Every structure is written in structure tokens, then in C-alpha cells.
Amino acid sequence: MLTDTKLRKLKAADKVYKETDSNGLYVEVRQTGKKFFRFRYRHPQTRKEQVLTLGEYPALGLAQARTLRDQAKEALAIGQDPSEQKQQTKAEQKNIEQESTRLANRMTFAQLYDEWLNHMAESWQYSTLKKNRGRIEGHLIPRLGDFTP
């Protein structure tokens, strides 16, 4: 069984080596000294041996790695592949991040108007610019300025 003290004392070697914990969980120590928690299991359909990387030590602690291993074992018990679950979770997280970035980058009507006016001002005569600015700033901006399309 691994302990936090044992994990801290693991040093890099000439080649990759493993230190086992329990129930398929082990730490892989690379030549660079980086340590990764990995879980070895059999795919529920193909029965081929698979390895799931859970995370890097010390960012992922031993207790967290054991919890992730237990969650993966629960998925296996109901016939799901934990690697596929991890990929699906990553894809969902990426979609959430993209959506929040898209929402954060949305412009208000007033900001959009400012950009549009700066672009159009180059091609308009002064009287046209003044007339359109008066209409929009007098009627639309007070009502729609903070609106985000």
C-alpha cells in the first residue's frame, strides 16, 4: 500500500517504473521524476486490459486518486468504460467553457452601436452622422443600451 510519505520519496530512475497501491491503482514514476496515478482494469466489453490515467501527483493526492479509482470501479460494475466516461466529461467541460467564453464576449447593444457608428462614420457626411446619432442615442440607447443580443 502506498502512503503519502512513500510517494514523496519516490525518485526518478533510468526508466519508467511503477509502485502499486491496491485494486489496480498504481503510481508510474517517469525518468523526469513526474508521478502519475494510473488505474489498470479490463474493458467491460472486450475484456482487454486498459489503463486510465487519473492525474499527476502531487496535484492529485492519494486519497483523491483512490476515490477516482473507486468511481471507475463503480462504472465498470455497471458495464461502462471509465476512459469513455472521462473523455465524455472532458468534452462536456470544454463545451461549458466555450459557452461561458462566448457569453462573456457578448456585446451590449450600446457597445455594438459604438463599433458600428465608428465604422460607418468614415463613409457618412457629417449631417447624416449627426442625424443618425441623435435618433439612436435619443431613442434606442436609453431603452436597449444594456441589452445583450
Grid coordinates representing 3 are 502512503
pLDDT digits (tens, 9 = 90+) for 35-75: 999 999 999 999 999 999 999 999 999 999 999 999 999 99
CB 47 within 8 Å of CB 61: no
DSSP assignment of the chain: ---HHHHHH----SS-EEEE-STTEEEEE-TTS-EEEEEEEE-TTT--EEEEEEEEETTS-HHHHHHHHHHHHHHHHTT--HHHHHHHHHHHHHHHHHHHHHHHTPPPHHHHHHHHHHHHHTTS-HHHHHHHHHHIIIIIHHHHTT---
Domain boundaries, the chain: 4-82, 109-144
4-82 CATH fold: Double Stranded RNA Binding Domain (3.30.160)
pLDDT digits (tens, 9 = 90+) for 71-100: 999 999 999 999 998 899 899 999 998 888
Please report, rounded to a whole number, the percentage of residues in the chain having pLDDT higher than 90. Answer: 64
Residue 21 Cα distances to 96, 134, 141, angstroms: 34, 73, 64
